[in-house]
Structure 1
Amino acid sequence: MDPISQGVVGAAFAQTAARRTQLATMAWYGAFGGLAPDLDVLFQSPTDPLVFLEYHRQFTHSLVFIPAGAFLVFLVLRAIASRLALLQGLTAFQGYLACLMGYATHGLLDACTSYGTQLFWPFSDARIAWDSMPIVDPLFTVPILVLVIAASRCKRRWLNWCACGWMLCFLTAGWWQHHRAMEAAEQVARNRGHEPTRLTAKPSIANLVLWKAIYEYDGHYYVDAVRVGTQRLWYPGARVAKLDLARDFPGLQPDSVQARDVERFRWFSDGYLTVEEDSPRIGDLRYSFLPNEVNPMWGIELNLNDQDEHVAWWASRRTDGRIRRQFVRMVLGLDGVSLDDDQATPP
């Protein structure tokens, strides 16, 4: 998730082990512990853009690294504590415990998103993605932040427990909404007479009601949006061909650097890849601003004239007024096709 969410969740969890007079200090240690795993963004290569994808949410986010990662954070904070009053007043055990509790939340919270987190590194390189939370959601983060600050200033532990309660309720709601979105996506496939090879539903940005549904059928990906509020709504989307290197890039040598890079990107994106029409670009279907559109936010670009060089990375996150207005209308439940009656017909 975003850094602010990671910091406040780490702070809230660390506060559960604090005395009333230590709530603020424990929160700071927990917040830094919660933020620290994302320092893996520093692992980059000027010649290989996929190094970042391989190392982000890798060993720093794994379950086995939590004690060591927390200890490193504690050592840094302990070294500067004499200069910062907000870090003073804890024993070594209390400081490490707060860092440990904050650090432990990070990988698990990231695994709730759809990006993928290597929780079981080095035993497995599987990217765990429970698809139950958007990467950014102020409705989740802001109440926790307010309650953590209030608990620290007022020295009231019950405010911290309210923060943890809100966190638990929101995560539970995410799991339930994901279940409902999967059911809606399955119904969309049935409406078209399809039996998907695989199907997934991922939350759109900053909400738990509008979801991106992707399923694979007969060599194509079908991308739709489903809204799971009091009424289930369907926003029909697009169909695109699944990436086939032999068909889409017949000149790509199987043992070339770029062919291996495509496989690395396929692993990162869980195989949800497609090719832009008349372009050497391969996009990650999982992410687009409008959940029923095939308009990837990022991907790789091949150069078949120099296959021994690494692929190039591209990103496109621009939006315009039309896209923003359409997104808001979807979130509000306007213009969709109802899935709660027999009138939902395939486009």
Structure 2
Amino acid sequence: MDPLTQGLLGVTASQNLASRSAYQRRVAGIGFLAGMAADLDVLIRSPADPLLFLEFHRQFTHSLVFIPLAGALLGTLLYTLFARKKLPLWQCIVLACAGYATHGLLDACTTYGTQLLWPFSSTRIAWNTLSIIDPLYTLPLLALCVLALKPGRRWAARTALAWALIYPGIGWIQRDRAEAAGLQLALSRGHRVDQLEAKPAFANLLLWKTIYRSGETFFVDGIRAGRELRVYPGSSIPRLDIARDLPFLQANSQQAIDLERFRWFSKGYIALDPTNPLRVVDIRYSLLPNEIEALWSIELAPQAPDQHVTFANHRNDARAKSRTLWQMLLGREVVKPQTIALENTAIEHHHIDTSTDSQDHNSP
């Protein structure tokens, strides 16, 4: 989640634990800084290893077992810096622990994946109930946290806590609706579903990206989960097959190791970029929910098997895509993306509308 939301959730936790304190600003400050602190792991980078940050971001700093240690260190530091003689040390540590604890749990609500159970498991837990940025979640938290700064407004802190829990709960319901619609769409195409996920589109819980795998092919579609469901058919792409797509890749080379690191990070949702035979993309993320235009990728170098792969971010035509995204939010017709196919793979897409009244798609 974005740093502001992380900090505000930390404030919400601290304000609810010390809502009667006369030093609300200090209480909020401790919660805000503790709520953001786990993302200091973004500093763990290496110019020699472009994928190092993928391994360590949302790893030990976000794990449940790290909360007491991080809270004690942060609480002591913040007590020393600005809470001395205002709040007791033990209270600073408790507030810092509470604020810090919210970070990993909130990140697990997003789609990126968080190693909550590290060091016992390296599984990236992603509940897919919140977009990485969502103003409808953040702005009410901001308003309520500010209101709770004044004494006698305990209700504001309580309301903020309720909103912090209710909104991801709505996301959970919406995710399940989108997954059910994605499954129905796959069955209508006569496909066997081997893997399926639904992820919220950018900054909302109305539009969802569904990805399912049938055999060796991924299918990506958009779902508008309003009062009625609407499908925006998307594209398909073959799952990465090393023998077919990267025949030059040497087993146990550094590039082969890096490819497996990227596969782990992407939960196996990787494919060869049809426009670049050396680029492997993570198909989970795109600006539009029904497209396969990856936001990041790795690129291999056949001539240098023992060098690290390169990592790249992609932001293609964001302004035009934002207009299309808005049309989808309103439930209007949009131009369907080109179907992506490799070699002799050609998958036909069928438009289905699961709404009971196909004439009304504008109601949320």
Trace 1:92-131 onto structure 2 (pairs within 5 A). 92-131=89-128
Q: Which residue of 1 aligns with 2:39?
A: 38
Q: Which residue of 2 aligns with 1:308?
A: 306
Q: 3-state SS of the aligned residue for 1:296?
A: coil
Q: 3-state SS of the aligned residue for 1:152?
A: coil
Trace 1:251-266 onto structure 2 (pairs within 5 A). 251-266=248-263
Q: 3-state SS of the aligned residue for 1:334?
A: coil
The range that moved more, 192-201 or 15-24, is 15-24
What's the offset of the Cα at 1:24? 2.4
Q: Which residue of 2 aligns with 1:291?
A: 289
Residue 248 in 1 paired to residue 263 in 2? no
Q: Which residue of 2 aligns with 1:14?
A: 14
Residue 48 in 1 paired to residue 45 in 2? no
Distance in 2, Cα, partners of 1:284 & 1:219:
15
Q: Which runs of 5+ in 2 are unaligned?
A: 335-351, 359-364
Aligned residues, how many?
Answer: 339
Flag as ranges the 4+ runs of structure 1 deviating above 6 A: none
Q: TM-score, normalised by structure 1?
A: 0.95
What's the offset of the Cα at 1:88? 6.0
What's the offset of the Cα at 1:102? 0.3
Q: Which residue of 2 aligns with 1:62?
A: 63
Contact 2:24 2:151 in 1 (8 A): no
Question: For residue 122 of structure 1, what is the amino acid of its counterpart?
Answer: P
What's the offset of the Cα at 1:23? 2.7
Contact 1:20 1:155 in 2 (8 A): no
Deviations 1:300-342 (A, max 9, x none): 0000100100000111124344311110011111127521359
Structure with higher helix content: 1
CA RMSD of aligned residues (A): 1.5
Q: Which runs of 5+ in 1 are unaligned?
A: none
What's the offset of the Cα at 1:194? 0.9
What's the offset of the Cα at 1:155? 4.2
Trace 1:1-347 onto structure 2 (pairs within 5 A). 1-18=1-18, 19-81=20-82, 89-277=86-274, 278-335=276-333, 337-341=352-356
Amino-acid identity (%): 46
What's the offset of the Cα at 1:226? 0.4
Distance in 2, Cα, partners of 1:27 & 1:321:
37
Contact 2:228 2:356 in 1 (8 A): no
The range that moved more, 195-204 or 334-343, is 334-343
Q: TM-score, normalised by structure 2?
A: 0.90
Contact 2:192 2:215 in 1 (8 A): no
